[in-house]
Structure 1
Amino acid sequence: MIAKLEKEKNVLTAIYKRFLRHSPADVWAYLTDNNKLQQWFPELEIQALKNGGEIRFDFGDGNFERMEITEMIPQKVLAFTWDKNLVRFELATDNSGCMLVFKEYLHEITEHTAKDLAGWHVCLDVIEALLDGRSVGDRTAIWQTCYPTYQQLLQDAQS
């Protein structure tokens, strides 16, 4: 499901919503347990899971970027800095599963923004597949399919 771009808190925000047939605790584990986190985003590693804590992004060349956890409520909210932007995962119990809402607050839009948005789309697909016990398939092909859509969404939002 493609994200929607909306103005939220006077900032352009990408909002992704996914209903997952799993408990918030199971989904939370994929967001915060490094062994599970790295199955869908191998460059990320949580250093300290707390408000003001740290997540590291490993560029794979010996360089790391420190991202601050700006809000953490166990099994409900995980928000952290993402370069000049902010990302936020929100979980809520929903009948036979969990509603996952992911937001990226786009404080700075660059040539790379559409790539990030397509990347988050793939990450959410992978989380869902892992939770369901399905194989992920070709992540690059999924990304290539949705990237032009995110380019167009950003272009439309900025016109």
Structure 2
Amino acid sequence: MNYPVPQVWSFLTENGKLKQWFPELSLAELVEGGAVKFDMGDGSYEEMTLLEVKPSSVLEYTWDRDRVRFELYPTAEGCRLLLIEKITRITDHTPRDLAGWHVCLDVISALLDGRELESRKAEWEKRYAQYREAVSAIG
């Protein structure tokens, strides 16, 4: 990404910016052991736990039985954003999650560029087909 680490980090950790690319998520407190809240849309929340927080470098939290980890590395052009999902068990939902995370990264990139994706749903459907195929090839 052609943006400095602090700018990209803010999209991962500041609730106002987080809502722009993943409206259901919010951070209660940015500390290890803190909560990441997922709004289920029915008035209830699922709480996930922040497992690792290294400011401007690492953000990792539980995701059901899995883990989601963001790593930021400074580069001459800005930074490299790496998303790692540690999957404990592949399910029918796995390709959906992977496609969703892919689109989330596309949205962050677009927001940093000052633009919007034409259709998140269309992007997700395209990615879902690719990930469904990839997961079935390994599973």
TM bucket by the smaller chain?
A: over 0.9
Partner of 2:65: 84
Counterpart of 1:63 (choices 38, 41, 44) is: 44
Q: TM-score, normalised by structure 2?
A: 0.98
Deviation at 1:129, TM superposition (A): 0.3
Residue correspondence of structure 1 range 101-112 to structure 2 within 5 A = 101-112=82-93
Aligned pairs, how many? Answer: 139
Where relative contact order (Cα < 8 A, 6+ residues apart) is larger, the structure is 1
CA distance in 1, matches of 2:125, 2:118: 13
| Percent sequence identity over aligned pairs | 47
- For the residues of structure 2 that align with 1:23 and 1:38, how far apart are their CA atoms? 20
1:37-82 deviations in Å (ceiling 9; x for gaps): 0000000010010111110000110111000000000000000000
1:138 corresponding residue in structure 2: 119
1:36 aligns with 2:17: yes
TM-score by length of 1: 0.86
How far apart are residue 136 of structure 1 and its match? 2.0
**Structure 1 gap ranges (5+):** 1-19
Tell me the residue number matched to 2:133: 152
Q: Which runs of 4 or more aligned residues in structure 1 lie more than 4 Å from their structure 2 counterparts after TM superposition? A: none
Structure 2, unmatched stretches of 5+, are none
Q: Does 1:127 align with 2:112?
A: no
SS across alignment from 2:128: helix
